[in-house]
Structure 1
Amino acid sequence: MDIPYQPDAMLVNKARSPSKYQDGYGMSYSEKEALKKLPEASGWPKLSGTREYDHMELIYYIDGLFIDIPRIPNYWITARLNTAFKGHASIWDTEIKEIHGRRNWHGRRVK
Structure 2
Amino acid sequence: MGQELLKEVPKLKEWPHFSGEGEYDHTEFIRGIDIIKEDFALPDRLVTETLNNLFTRSAHRWYIKLRQAHENQIWTWWKTQIIQKLANDAWRFKFETAFESA
Q: TM-score range by the shorter chain?
A: 0.5 to 0.7
- Greater relative contact order, per chain length (Cα 8 Å cut-off, separation 6+): 2
Residue 94, structure 1, aligned to residue 73, structure 2: no
Cα distance, 1:72 vs structure 2: 2.2
Of residues 15, 18, 29 in structure 2, which corresponds to 1:58?
Answer: 29
Structure 1 or 2: larger helix share? 2
Cα deviation digits, residues 8-38 of structure 1 (max 9, x gap): xxxxxxxxxxxxxxxxxxxxxx521221111
1:38 pairs with 2:9:
yes
Query: Aligned residues: percent identity?
Result: 32
From the superposition, tell whether residues 89 and 40 of structure 1 become closer, same or farther in structure 2 (CA, over 3 Å): same
Q: Which has the larger radius of gyration?
A: 1
Distance in 1, matches of 2:37 and 2:74, equals: 21
Unaligned runs of 5+ in 1: 1-29
Equivalences for 1:58-77 in 2 at 5 Å? 58-69=29-40, 71-77=41-47
Matched residues, number: 76
Give the structure-1-normalised TM-score: 0.54
The Cα shift of 1:68 comes to 2.2
Deviation at 1:47, TM superposition (A): 0.7
